[in-house]
Amino acid sequence: MNVTKDESQVSLFQNFTFTSTNSGIACMSIALNFLVLVGFLAAKKLRENPFYRLLIPLTVVHLIGSTSGFGYTIVILTYSEKVRYVCVIVFTVIMSCTVLSFVQTAILSLDRYQSTLPLPTSVILNRRKILGYIATTVWLILILFMVVITGTTIGDGDCYALQSFHSRPEMNVFGSLIILVTLSIDILFCILTFLNIRKQSRAVGTHVSSIRKNQTREGQLSTSNYPTTTMQYKMKNKRHALTVISFLIVTHTVTSVSRMVILVSITNDPSTLNSVRDVFIVLQLITYVLDSVFCIISIRPLREIFTCNAV
């Protein structure tokens, strides 16, 4: 089919709009996630905290995904037969990072829930190790799956046509299923974690009140059996960690819902599919930016590093 001059100009304008938008957001995401990663590695408090250690792989995934998003833009602009497989590889990395980001968020939710259970510290640490092994296994399986599927769906033509995922509807079903399952896990365990923290906070508050009443009634001070400072500090840390993971889940949920709405509303027009693919990448990069900004704002050791207030 012959392409008219007007159609060619419209396609060129759409391509330029996507590449310029994608490049700007990708560069911002790369810079922010790099700063967050450096902050995590530089702050001793964060390196020693089990929850923030699990955030480091998520930040690495975001950094790789952002870099791949920028690389994808360059490939689209300078596409030729020489970069045929580079185009496919870069897009595969982007999609893999998207899936791994959701999976790691689910791992964080599970870790937050089990850390609020009334269990000995040794048991929680052992469970955390097992959770790490499970996460690594799931990561490897998903990466292998994405590589195999990519190898069996390579098309012909330009960079868009090479990614002929629209000819494999099961890919959309599989990707949507992973997102829905991980989001369900995230939301469920965040609610359970909130309920556990609320229950424990009430127990701590009741215990503190009874101790203070006894001290006032007896008219003497006691320095024994007074765990209020430690327990309240732990509750504060748990609530803060829950706030961080809740924000990550909210951003991922908004991105996922947007994708689902767009996916349902599209037609089988190839040009529409290409535009939708571009929008998906931009949405994911925006998620990476929001996550990194929230980490810098909400995590105190990171904020101290970037504001030069670290002691």
**What domains does the chain contain, in order, with CATH numbers?**
11-306 (1.20.1070.10)
CA distances from 277 to 63, 134, 280 (A): 20, 31, 5
For residue 243, name the pLDDT band (cuts at 50, 70, 90). confident
Residue 45 pLDDT greater than 70, yes or no? yes
Predicted local confidence at residue 5, as pLDDT: 41
Looking at per-residue pLDDT, the higher value among 105 and 159 belongs to: 105
Residue 172 pLDDT greater than 70, yes or no? no
Residue 283 pLDDT greater than 70, yes or no? yes
For residue 183, name the pLDDT band (cuts at 50, 70, 90). confident
> What is the rounded distance in angstroms from the CA atom of residue 104 to the CA atom of residue 108?
6
Average pLDDT over residues 115-126: 83
Residue 91 pLDDT greater than 80, yes or no? no
Looking at per-residue pLDDT, the higher value among 203 and 3 belongs to: 203
Mean pLDDT of the chain: 72
Residue 19 pLDDT greater than 80, yes or no? no
> What is the rounded distance in angstroms from the CA atom of residue 238 to the CA atom of residue 76?
44
Token pair, residue 82, equals: 């020489």
Residue 87 pLDDT greater than 70, yes or no? yes
Which region among 5-9, 181-185, 295-299 has the lowest average model confidence (pLDDT)? 5-9
> What is the rounded distance in angstroms from the CA atom of residue 127 to the CA atom of residue 184?
21
Highest mean pLDDT among 194-208, 263-277, 292-306: 292-306
Question: Hunting for tokens 């330009």 — which residue is that?
Answer: 158
Q: What is the percent of the chain with per-residue pLDDT over 70, rounded to a whole number?
A: 63
Average pLDDT over residues 155-176: 57
Average pLDDT over residues 217-224: 50
Closest CA to 258 of 295, 289, 287, 288: 287
Residue 119 sits at φ, ψ, to 5 deg, of -125, 155
Average pLDDT over residues 276-294: 81
> What is the rounded distance in angstroms from the CA atom of residue 27 to the CA atom of residue 24?
5
Helix or strand holding residue 196 (H, E): helix 169-218
For residue 269, name the pLDDT band (cuts at 50, 70, 90). low
Predicted local confidence at residue 48, as pLDDT: 79
Question: Hunting for tokens 């792989």 — which residue is that?
Answer: 57
Closest CA to 238 of 198, 269, 197, 276: 197
Q: Count CA atoms closer than 13 A to 58's CA, side-chain side.
A: 28
Average pLDDT over residues 124-145: 85
CA distances from 165 to 102, 180, 182, 304 (A): 20, 20, 22, 45
Residue 209 pLDDT greater than 80, yes or no? no
Residue 275 pLDDT greater than 80, yes or no? no
Which region among 98-112, 171-185, 248-262 has the lowest average model confidence (pLDDT)? 171-185
Residue 177 pLDDT greater than 50, yes or no? yes
> What is the rounded distance in angstroms from the CA atom of residue 97 to the CA atom of residue 58?
9
Q: What is the percent of the chain with per-residue pLDDT over 90, rounded to a whole number?
A: 2
Predicted local confidence at residue 174, as pLDDT: 66
Predicted local confidence at residue 8, as pLDDT: 40
Q: Can you say how many angstroms the Cα of residue 182 is from the centroid of all Cα atoms in its chain?
A: 11
Residue 128 pLDDT greater than 80, yes or no? yes
